[in-house]
Amino acid sequence: MTEGFNLTAKEAKDRHVPVMLDRCLELLAPGIEKPGAVVIDGTLGMGGHSEAMLQRFPDLTVVGIDRDLQAHRLAGERLAAFGDRFKPVHAVYDEIPRVLDELGLDGVDGVLFDLGVSSMQLDERERGFAYSYDAPLDMRMDSTEELTAAVVVNEYDEADLRRIIRTWGEEKFAGRIAGAIVKAREEKPLTTTGELVKVIQSAVPVGAQRKGGHPAKRTFQALRIEVNHELDALERAVPAAIDALNVGGRLVAMSYHSLEDKLVKRAITARATSSAPKGFPVELEEHKPELKVLTRGAEPPTEVEIEENSRAASAKLRAAEKIKSTRK
């Protein structure tokens, strides 16, 4: 058992710096500062964003969704003082409709997504998310699921490995890396992150390793996305979040790589665009946009935020307000 798995709520709070916290609260505020408001924190993690919302908005109820049971333990301890204003739910963020139904809610006044792997998951060595630690090839956000990175690495055929690494990791050396993995596992199964890193390093040209960050970064991203079906879930989650919003409610989403950001942008743009046919003389009520975009493109963190939290460096924030209900 590692130190990470023995974390207390206090240690988690001291170590965890929520990304772009002030900007998130500023954007959500018009929807969630009213009495009786409800917000969904779709990526609860260690509870940093949820704690800040509960502190700043005294009449707010937070529904905290996370698939990671360890996150629920830490966040639950951290937020226990807020009583029934905090409602934790073990689920994936694309299950918002089920969560609302189980809680008896017709809609919510805000949804926050802080996407990707959490600080806790990266720091807990035995979870196998980080290429900088030698650990079992796991990478599951939900430890009750069966698929692990070890299964992907050792059982997927070369063509599927190449596709995953190229598509989910945007890795230009995907073919070389997939081939090297297949060759290595013929001798013995790859069971640790350290073994996989060595295989990747052997496949990536030395010149390329001198620039662009760690040579295993993109492959680890690809494996994590595959194991947790992250982009499939996200593609369903953003429309589900928009549907869940009451008029005046707001969606705030932070992503950390281009694939996440493209999905968020596409979902928001589709609902913020008039559906009136080209050349139609009058925009009817049913053609009017459902959302108003609140950010100009994807907002980056400030230099001060990056200095305080290096993991914020790649963050991109998008936000929108629900301006028309489509509920029947």
Tens-place pLDDT, residues 163-216: 999 999 999 999 999 999 999 999 999 999 999 999 999 999 988 887 778 899
**94 and 56 share one domain:** yes
**12 and 79 share one domain:** yes
Asked whether residue 165 is domain-assigned, the answer is: yes
Tens-place pLDDT, residues 88-114: 999 999 999 999 999 999 999 999 999
Q: Mean pLDDT score of the chain, rounded to an integer?
A: 89
Asked whether residue 206 is domain-assigned, the answer is: yes
Residues 6+ apart with CB under 8 A from 91: 65, 66, 67, 98, 99
Helix, strand, coil in percent for the chain, rounding step 5: 50, 15, 35
The answer to whether 133 is annotated as binding is no
Instruction: Say which CATH number the domain at 105 has.
Output: 3.40.50.150
The answer to whether 106 is annotated as binding is no
The answer to whether 110 is annotated as binding is no
Mean pLDDT by 10 residues, the chain (328 residues): 44 66 96 96 94 97 94 92 96 96 97 81 68 88 91 97 96 96 97 96 87 88 93 96 97 94 96 77 74 95 88 92 85
pLDDT of residue 92: 94
The answer to whether 36 is annotated as binding is no
> Token digits for 159?
């063509």
The answer to whether 48 is annotated as binding is yes
**142 and 217 share one domain:** yes
**169 and 240 share one domain:** no
**246 and 183 share one domain:** no
**12 and 82 share one domain:** yes
The domain boundary, picked from 170, 196, 228, lies at 228
**41 and 112 share one domain:** yes
**98 and 45 share one domain:** yes
The domain boundary, picked from 206, 228, 250, lies at 228
The domain boundary, picked from 166, 197, 228, lies at 228
The answer to whether 256 is annotated as binding is no
Asked whether residue 52 is domain-assigned, the answer is: yes
Name the 3-class secondary structure at 245: strand
What is the span of the domain harbouring residue 206?
A: 127-228
**284 and 164 share one domain:** no
How far apart CA 88 and CA 76 sit, in angstroms, is 7
How far apart CA 182 and CA 99 sit, in angstroms, is 41
Instruction: Say which CATH number the domain at 153 has.
Output: 1.10.150.170
pLDDT of residue 5: 43
The answer to whether 49 is annotated as binding is yes
Asked whether residue 291 is domain-assigned, the answer is: yes
Sheet with 245-255, edge to edge strand ranges: 86-90, 61-66, 38-41, 108-114, 245-255, 316-322, 291-293
**87 and 35 share one domain:** yes
**98 and 148 share one domain:** no
As beta bridge partners, residue 188 has: none
Torsion sign, CA atoms 285, 286, 288, 292: positive
How far apart CA 226 and CA 232 sit, in angstroms, is 9
**63 and 94 share one domain:** yes
Number of domains in the chain: 2
